[in-house]
Amino acid sequence: MRSKDETKVQLILGTALKMIERVGLAGLKMSDLAKEAGVATGTVYIYFEDKNQLIRELYLYLMHYNTADLNQPISENEPLKIKIKKIARNYLNNNINNPEHGAFLEQYFRSPYFHEDDATHQAEELALQPIYSLLVEGQRQSLIKDADPELLVTLVCGMLNEVAKVSIYTQKPITPAEWELTFSVLWDGIRS
């Protein structure tokens, strides 16, 4: 008897993720994937039913990962503005440090592998929950514009997503000055 190597699942998924960032979902070949992961083609089929399921798993794996990540503990006893600044920075860093994630998800939602029942929305909402809560808290303290918090989250994330994209694209990290400006636009935009 020989037991399945759970490490290999991670290896294959991780390799797929990196490759997809490079060649796109449309360009991912099972044989290339196997080669790059350093296993035989057939091995991939031991751990995954077929390509479809592999992509599916990758999605679930990412969702799980992402959701966990924004929930880093926020130091209490700080002014709300600072809390928001920290969580925003956290969100931005997450996006910049894991460009493969955004690249994959962007494509997944538009691919033939994606089916509506994928709990997309729940997962996304869950991931944004912490930001949402902070904004609502701010509204209660009359610090934040009294308007649909959903829309506020959308606007805030829109800014951060785009900044992340540019940073990834230009391969330049965010400078302190850039971050200060970004947060200033964000904060002045939402404060009441």
Q: Would you say 51 and 76 are in contact if contact means Cβ atoms under 8 Å apart?
A: no
Please, which residue, 39 or 157, has the CB nearer to its own copies?
A: 157
Tokens 């979902």 -> residue: 25
Residue 40 partner contact from its own copies, DNA, none using kind-dependent CB cut-offs of 5 to 8 Å:
DNA
121-160 mask for its own copies (x: CB under 8 A)?
Answer: ------------------------x-xx--xx-xx-xxxx
Site for DNA contains 162 (CB under 7 A): no
Site for its own copies contains 24 (CB under 8 A): yes
Distances in Å between the alpha carbon of 179 and those of 88, 93, 138, 190? 10, 11, 21, 17
- Residue 123's identity, in one-letter code, is A
User: What residues from 81 to 100 belong to the interface with its own copies (CB under 8 A)?
Assistant: none
Residue 98 Cβ vs DNA, minimum distance, rounded to whole Å:
24
Distances in Å between the alpha carbon of 42 and those of 8, 18, 24, 47, 51? 13, 20, 22, 9, 12
Q: How far apart are CA 44 and CA 51, in angstroms?
A: 9
Q: How far apart are CA 39 and CA 32, in angstroms?
A: 10
Return the range that interacts with its own copies (CB under 8 A); candidates 71-79, 81-89, 126-134, 175-183: 175-183
Please, which residue, 8 or 178, has the CB nearer to its own copies?
A: 178
Site for DNA contains 115 (CB under 7 A): no
Structure tokens at 54: 């592999």
User: What residues from 14 to 53 belong to the interface with DNA (CB under 7 A)?
Assistant: 28-31, 39-43, 45-47, 50-52
Please, which residue, 5 or 125, has the CB nearer to DNA?
A: 5
Assign 3-state DSSP to the chain and report helix, strand, coil percentages, each to 5.
75, 0, 25
Please, which residue, 42 or 73, has the CB nearer to DNA?
A: 42
